[in-house]
Amino acid sequence: MKEGRASWTAELMAFFRAHESARPLRTRLFTDPFAPDFLSTPLRGALVLARLPGGIGVVQRIIERRWGGPLGAAVCRTRFIDDAVEAAITAGLDQVVILGAGFDCRAYRMPRLAGTRVFEVDHPLTQSMKRTRLAPRLGAIPPHVVFAPVDFARDSLSASMEARGFRSAARTFFLWEGVTNYLTDDAVDATLRWVARVGSPGSTLLFTYIHRGMLDGSLRFEGAETSRRTVERSGEPYTFGLDPAEVPAYLRQRGLDLVEDVAAPEYRDRYLRPLGRDMKIWDFYRAAVTRVT
């Protein structure tokens, strides 16, 4: 993140969610009515184009031609996470912790979360911008939402959460979307161990990560090099990745059990093909569901 501004990647994710929400209802994966509120002028212009007849396909092709599959990866993982949150609510849920919340608006767009305490944890700059953009639409932040400003590279996550009423004995859904790939090995390790330590047995952690082979160059993925250059220019370079084959053991060493690890093939089978849709999806970007042991 560049000093003095909110996360560029958080804004880009908001654009991807807004783009998906502009699709016809019968073929869209989800609806995020708040996403357009976080867009700068250039991305607002792209969204106007997407809303024109035939514009959805035009914008998708432009993105895929330049970067490969970030749009497909973003919208499919959004639906995957939405489904996981809904399943957790059905199973019995006391609180949600969104680590690196960015412009995630699940606390406001998913009605079933209204009865659940939702902690939004993120950099103070991003949270400040988020609150400013939400104010005209919401009037006030709903009482079930708690903002916890934290710089993952510097601040104590444990102290911040305890100060804001986090309950370690409660059944918790931890969400860590689009964050690990910008952190150090030590920061990822510390956060995973914190989740395992404070999460009650049976609590869930869903986190995303990128394939280590994309980082070290041992594997080639479509769009990977362009993606790496783009985030470096924005001041948010990729710094961390995992080998999917090593993830189960890596998590067990930190008190977590892997439940599911998904990527492009699963997204296509579950979400796109049933709707008759086809999109490029980054193969190196994955999502893992874990349980606190």
pLDDT band at 27 (very low <50, low <70, confident <90, very high): very high
Give a yes or no: residue 56 inside a domain: no
Mean pLDDT of 204-225: 93
pLDDT of residue 158: 86
pLDDT of residue 5: 54
Residue type, 144: H
Q: Angle at which helices 55-67 and 224-233 pack, to 10 degrees? A: 90
Separation between Cα atoms, residue 203 and residue 95, nearest integer Å: 10
Span 162-186, pLDDT tens digits: 999 999 989 999 999 999 999 999 9
Residues 6+ apart with CB under 8 A from 209: 180, 181, 240, 241, 242, 285, 286, 288
Give a yes or no: residue 239 inside a domain: yes
Give a yes or no: residue 237 inside a domain: yes
Span 32-91, pLDDT tens digits: 999 999 999 999 999 999 999 999 999 999 999 999 999 999 999 999 999 999 999 999
pLDDT of residue 142: 95
CATH code assigned at 203: 3.40.50.150
Q: Which helix (H) or strand (E) holds 275?
A: none
Give a yes or no: residue 232 inside a domain: yes
Mean pLDDT of 261-274: 98
Give a yes or no: residue 11 inside a domain: no
- More confidently predicted of 145 and 2: 145
Kindly report which listed range (3-7, 100-104, 144-148, 194-198) carries the lowest average pLDDT score: 3-7
| Residue range of the domain that includes 231 | 68-292
pLDDT of residue 2: 46
Give a yes or no: residue 171 inside a domain: yes
Give a yes or no: residue 39 inside a domain: no
Residue type, 160: S
Number of structural domains in the chain: 1
Give a yes or no: residue 262 inside a domain: yes
